[in-house]
Chains A and B, each alone.
Chain A
Amino acid sequence: MLYQQIAKNKRKTIFVLGGFFLLVALIGAAIGYLFAGSAVGGIVIAGVLAVIYMSVMISQSTEVVMNMNNAHEIHSAQEAPELWHVVEDMAIVAQVPMPRVFIIDDPSPNAFATGNDPQHSAVAATTGLLQMMNREELEGVMGHEMSHVRNYDIRLQTIALALSAAISALVSFAGNFWWLGGSRSSDDDDNGAVGIFAVIGSILLIILAPLAATIAQMALSRNREYLADAGSVELTRNPLGLISALKKLETAQPMKQVAPSSSSLYISDPELNSHHKPFAHLFDTHPPLEERIGRLERM
């Protein structure tokens, strides 16, 4: 079960990366052909840029994600003894190395894990979580995060996050570029060709924006939250801790500020609002907490 999940995550990661490079190559070809008359040149430049971006992103992902969420690292057990010790415990039973530990100053209880693989992982908890949860509940939450680490969910989620951020940046960049190019092209002779590409460009933009969201969505199939809940119980052997933690999360206030693209990382949706609108669940990044509690109670 665990190995299947890991293999599935590795496959998905390659698929997401491949899709990303294809997309970048297409955009490169379009821009290159449009402005330099050479699609191949565009592909090469875009490809090089994409490789550089991805390597920077992968080597710096923890820093980037933690910065995005205003998390600061703690380096010793003295700074937050209970959290540190619970994370140590979970790392022992999950048989993964001790992750880096971060704290977010926010009264709303929440937590997430990130990193490239179990050897380079990090977990973050809000100050609200530390205040609100007793030890058993904290173990349940951290067990959940450690399952994400062990399943390689963290790598897939981090890469999907980096890619959707890149694509939305590209979309807005290309939007500006096209605007500039478009205004200049009115003096040009080959208005027709540029016009066609402007149309194609705008169509591309329309396709790209939702695609970014779809990639993110695909990576976070809600199913993995259930799997991580089950993994947490496997580690702590104590479903009651996680159940009572999830019940506390159910009544919690949304977080003060959260980077929208990283909301899918958290154990419970940080932007959750209590006023349910019809169809609101359609775009949820997380399964409803009551359903997760129900599954744990039936275990």
Chain B
Amino acid sequence: MIVTIVVIVIIVLLIALYAGLYNGLVQLRTHAEESWSQIDVQLQRRNDLIPNLVSTVKGYSKYEASTLEKVTQLRSQLENVPEDDHAQKMAVSNELTGTLRSLFAVAENYPDLKASTQYQSLMEELSNTENKIAYSRQLYNSTVANLDAKIQSFPSNIIAKIHHFKQMDYLQVPKESKAVPKVSFDD
């Protein structure tokens, strides 16, 4: 009698433990996926802003046509990266960030352009988006770190194996800086 009760209690406890660990893993994976979608939203937003930027800048800087071309080309390249290839997406995005930064640097030579309110609000929008990409990536990396730690540590590693939870990869931070075009109009 007592033995039966003890066995039942142990089984119930094991099931509860199993469910708890499994749900924990699911929650962490959901967090990581959510934070990726935050990055994705910002990438899309920047892509939507670029045509506007190109048409604003075009009239002023005829000589930097190649930079503008490269921005447009990277933009369409980014749209063609498969949805789940996060690393590839970020690689293109980083390149786009760099090219945009050099475009902004060029724009410094055109005081009329710099003074136009349309350009200024575009700049604010773009640097906002760049910052959001950088900060969402930081958030993504920390959620991925939590998930990966859980997948590797005992006892949740057993559950992770049974249910094929895969570790996710960190997103590389570009070398030059935090990928934020530092623009200020106050000096």
A binds B: yes
- Residues in chain A within 8 A of chain B (CB atoms): 81-82, 85-86, 88-89, 92-93, 95, 131-132, 134-136, 237-238
Tell me the nearest residue of chain A to B31, going by C-beta: A95
- Option from A92, A132, A237 in Cβ contact (under 8 Å) with B132: A92
Query: Do A135 and B178 form a contact, CB below 8 Å, given A85-B128, A93-B135, A93-B138?
Result: no
Query: Do A136 and B139 form a contact, CB below 8 Å, given A85-B131, A88-B132?
Result: no
Say how far B133's CB is from chain A's closest CB, in angstroms. Answer: 10
Say how far A92's CB is from chain B's closest CB, in angstroms. Answer: 5
Say how far B90's CB is from chain A's closest CB, in angstroms. Answer: 17
Q: How far is the CA of A132 from the CA of B186 in the complex (A)?
A: 8
Contact present for B139 and A135 (CB under 8 Å): no
| Tier of interface size on chain B | 10 to 19
Q: How far is the CA of A237 from the CA of B121 in the complex (A)?
A: 26
- Option from B124, B135, B186, B187 in Cβ contact (under 8 Å) with A89: B135
Query: Do A92 and B136 form a contact, CB below 8 Å, given A81-B124, A81-B128, A85-B124?
Result: yes
Known: A134-B184, A135-B127. 9 other contacts (CB 8 A): A81-B124, A85-B124, A85-B128, A88-B128, A92-B136, A93-B139, A131-B186, A134-B186, A134-B187
- Option from A81, A86, A92, A132 in Cβ contact (under 8 Å) with B139: A92
- Option from A86, A131, A238 in Cβ contact (under 8 Å) with B178: A238
A-B contact pairs, 26 of them (CB 8 A): A81-B121, A81-B124, A81-B128, A82-B124, A85-B124, A85-B128, A85-B131, A85-B132, A88-B128, A88-B132, A89-B131, A89-B132, A89-B135, A92-B38, A92-B132, A92-B136, A93-B135, A93-B139, A95-B139, A132-B186, A134-B184, A134-B186, A135-B127, A135-B182, A135-B184, A237-B178
Q: Which residues of B contact A134 (CB under 8 A)?
A: 182, 184, 186-187
Contact with A along B145-187 (1 / 0, CB 8 A): 0000000000000000000000000000000001000111011
Q: Which residues of B contact A95 (CB under 8 A)?
A: 139
Q: How far is the CA of A93 from the CA of B39 in the complex (A)?
A: 12
- Residues in chain B within 8 A of chain A (CB atoms): 38, 121, 124, 127-128, 131-132, 135-136, 138-139, 178, 182-184, 186-187
Main secondary structure of the interface of A (DSSP, over half): helix
Q: How far is the CA of A86 from the CA of B130 in the complex (A)?
A: 12
Q: How far is the CA of A95 from the CA of B139 in the complex (A)?
A: 8
Say how far A184's CB is from chain B's closest CB, in angstroms. Answer: 64
Q: How far is the CA of A89 from the CA of B182 in the complex (A)?
A: 15
Say how far A102's CB is from chain B's closest CB, in angstroms. Answer: 20
Q: Which residues of A contact B186 (CB under 8 A)?
A: 131-132, 134
Q: Which residues of B contact A237 (CB under 8 A)?
A: 138, 178
Q: Which residues of B contact A136 (CB under 8 A)?
A: 182
Say how far B92's CB is from chain A's closest CB, in angstroms. Answer: 22
Q: How far is the CA of A92 from the CA of B139 in the complex (A)?
A: 8
Q: How far is the CA of A131 from the CA of B124 in the complex (A)?
A: 15
Q: How far is the CA of A122 from the CA of B124 in the complex (A)?
A: 23
Q: Which residues of A contact B136 (CB under 8 A)?
A: 92
Most chain B C-beta atoms within 10 Å of own C-beta, residue among A85, A131, A134, A135: A135
Tell me the nearest residue of chain B to A81, going by C-beta: B124
Q: How far is the CA of A86 from the CA of B132 in the complex (A)?
A: 9
Q: How far is the CA of A93 from the CA of B139 in the complex (A)?
A: 6
Tell me the nearest residue of chain A to B38, going by C-beta: A92
Q: Which residues of A contact B132 (CB under 8 A)?
A: 85, 88-89, 92
Say how far B121's CB is from chain A's closest CB, in angstroms. Answer: 8
Say how far B82's CB is from chain A's closest CB, in angstroms. Answer: 26
Q: How far is the CA of A180 from the CA of B83 in the complex (A)?
A: 78
Q: How far is the CA of A294 from the CA of B139 in the complex (A)?
A: 28
Q: Which residues of A contact B131 (CB under 8 A)?
A: 85-86, 89, 135
Q: How far is the CA of A85 from the CA of B126 in the complex (A)?
A: 11
Q: Which residues of B contact A86 (CB under 8 A)?
A: 131
Say how far B140's CB is from chain A's closest CB, in angstroms. Answer: 10
Most chain A C-beta atoms within 10 Å of own C-beta, residue among B127, B135, B136, B186: B135
Q: How far is the CA of A92 from the CA of B158 in the complex (A)?
A: 32
Say how far B93's CB is from chain A's closest CB, in angstroms. Answer: 17
Q: Which residues of B contact A82 (CB under 8 A)?
A: 124
Contact present for A92 and B135 (CB under 8 Å): yes
Say how far B96's CB is from chain A's closest CB, in angstroms. Answer: 19
Tell me the nearest residue of chain A to B136, going by C-beta: A92
